[in-house]
Chain A
Amino acid sequence: MLSTIKYPVSLLLVTMLGVSLAGCANTENQSAAAEPSNEEIHQLLLASFKTKGQAKLERVNQTELQKACSVAETAAGGLPDAKRTELQNAALAAVKYPADGKYLGDWKAGEKLAQSGKGFQFNDKEGSTAGGNCYACHQLAPQELAYGNIGPSLYQYGKLRGNSEEIMKYTWAKIWNSHAYNACSNMPRFGAEGILTETQLKDVMALLMSPESPVNK
């Protein structure tokens, strides 16, 4: 239900076919260009970027998952099923659940985090608190109309699912590392990458799960 893959593969193929037909004025020429390797692109990016502030040049080096997902997006057939399973299992196995077993913090603090898009940009102060920027991609509290739609609506998230241990654990893992359930999800790995602290993750969890949260009103 939380998968960010919105369209069936068949629709994607039709779309891609449409693009290639519409762009046929150039296809004849394009076919002559050799396919650049991922490593060639990596080297090109190392030469095209420079460190600025906290954004070090090393950021253009890919993790195994980033590489697999990048290559899959332009490859016929996309990500192979075996690779998908391997990546998801590795992500899920590395999730750290709250040490005290408590999942929910303060939904009001969570709402503030959901509103903030700060953090990790080269113009953000190094070590400053990052936001979760949830509203950039998701609908949450109905009072906030300026929400994006890259991810699914999370309005009434907890109300619709209840707060069983199973749902708590799933939601925590999804925020910790979204790739645990969808190998090439567009959502950042808020826990695994250290974007949010454990306390902040609990606050965001409360925004989603707490009966008092405006999300569940």
Chain B
Amino acid sequence: MRHTVNAATRRVFAILLGTAASALFTMNAFAQKTTEQGIQEYRDMLADGNPAELIELRGEDLWTKPQGPKNASLEQCDVGMGPGKLEGAVAQMPRFFSDAGKVMDIETRLVHCMVTLQGRDVAEITKKPFSSDGEKPSELESLVAYVYAASRGATIKVPQSHPEERAARARGEKIFFYRAGPYDFSCASCHATDDQRIRLQGLPNLTKPEPAQAAFGAWPAYRVSQGAVRSMQWRMYDCFRQQRFPELKYGSQASIDLITYLGVKAEGGTMQATSLKR
């Protein structure tokens, strides 16, 4: 799909999904599985024309475009496989980067490259990482879509050879079970038991390899209801919103640790990059 997706097309997608979902809703009491199946059929239907492809193209333009005080592109950005080498890279992230002295997920690494290669300001880059409803995809969302596309089909293997990588995973596990806030929720409140759901939305048990593989492989995702590519950082941010926590900072240590915990659990899974979700 190479033509422009406008708001009207997005609405059609949303209506199609809404109709399918509500039809299934009323069918029977085992609505969860049926709804899941309906959404899967819908995904298959659109598999040849995932709107995320347009955002990938936009990301490619941004990747190759000279920008910032240094008037440089991101083509020499090293996301773990050497400068400019993207193939399969995000299936092995977060990872430790010796030039930064810390574990980074892909989004943090992209920001790092924008600062070091292009000479840009962190605060400016991360001011609004997620697009609002009806807005154009943000620069980071577009770059994420582009970079992940080079890992489509790659096998997940988040490294644990460096002590910092192991420490990130260990902290991520603790954060996963950390209850706080007015509702006493942790990640585990919803994601540590099999076959649970909120309303009809299935909740993967992220303490188990198979659901973790599916979840890790499915982000970033094109969210039909929002008409946007949503990244793994966004997924963490929005989960914490529903947990009634304060706002998770973009690229924060907690976000990187949680993604590392999930990624290590997801070893052996396949990157869908970019998937399609309701």
Contacts and interface: CB of A to CB of B under 8 A. Distances in A.
Nearest to B196: A150
Contact of B184 (A19, A73, A149, A188): A188
Interface stretch (A43-51, A96-104, A167-175, A201-209): A43-51
Interface in B70-107: none
A146 B200 contact: yes
Contact of A188 (B29, B160, B175, B183): B183
Interface residues of A, number: 59
Contact of A59 (B167, B186, B246, B268): B246
Contacts of B184: 63, 65-66, 69, 186, 188-189
Contacts of B208: 15, 18-19, 22
A157 B207 CA distance: 32
A56 to B, nearest CB: 6
B190 interface: yes
A80 interface: no
A6 interface: yes
A137 B200 CA distance: 10
A44 B253 contact: yes
A93 interface: no
Interface in A129-165: 135-137, 145-150
B31 A47 contact: no
Contact of B171 (A23, A36, A55, A56): A36
B248 interface: yes
B247 A146 contact: no
Interface string A22-66: 110110011011111010110011011111100111011111011
B193 interface: yes
Contacts of A35: 170
B4 interface: no
Nearest to B26: A145
A120 B182 contact: yes
A65 B207 CA distance: 23
B197 A148 contact: yes
Contacts of B241: 55, 121-123
A147 B173 CA distance: 29
Nearest to A65: B184
A90 to B, nearest CB: 15
Contacts of A52: 246-247
A44 B257 CA distance: 10
A120 B160 contact: no
A128 interface: no
B29 A19 contact: no
B252 interface: yes
A16 B193 CA distance: 11
A59 B253 contact: no
Contact of B183 (A30, A120, A147): A120
Nearest to B267: A25
B179 interface: yes
A148 B203 CA distance: 10
A10 interface: no
A122 B246 contact: yes
Contacts of A40: 171
A149 B196 contact: yes
Nearest to B266: A23
A55 B245 contact: yes
Contact of B247 (A47, A50, A149): A50
A146 B31 contact: yes
Interface string B171-188: 101110111111111101
Contacts of A61: 180
Contacts of A137: 198
Contacts of B201: 148
A68 B178 CA distance: 10
A51 B247 contact: yes
15 contacts: A22-B208, A23-B267, A30-B160, A30-B170, A33-B169, A45-B178, A48-B253, A49-B247, A49-B254, A50-B247, A60-B245, A121-B242, A136-B199, A145-B29, A150-B197
Given A145-B31, A150-B197, 15 more contacts: A22-B209, A29-B160, A33-B163, A36-B174, A49-B248, A49-B254, A55-B246, A62-B179, A66-B179, A67-B179, A73-B186, A147-B199, A188-B184, A188-B185, A189-B184
Interface of B: 25-26, 29, 31, 160-161, 163, 166-167, 169-171, 173-175, 177-186, 188-190, 192-193, 195-201, 203, 207-209, 240-242, 244-249, 252-255, 257, 264-265, 267-268
A-B residue pairs, 5 tightest by C-beta: A48-B254, A48-B252, A33-B166, A52-B247, A33-B170
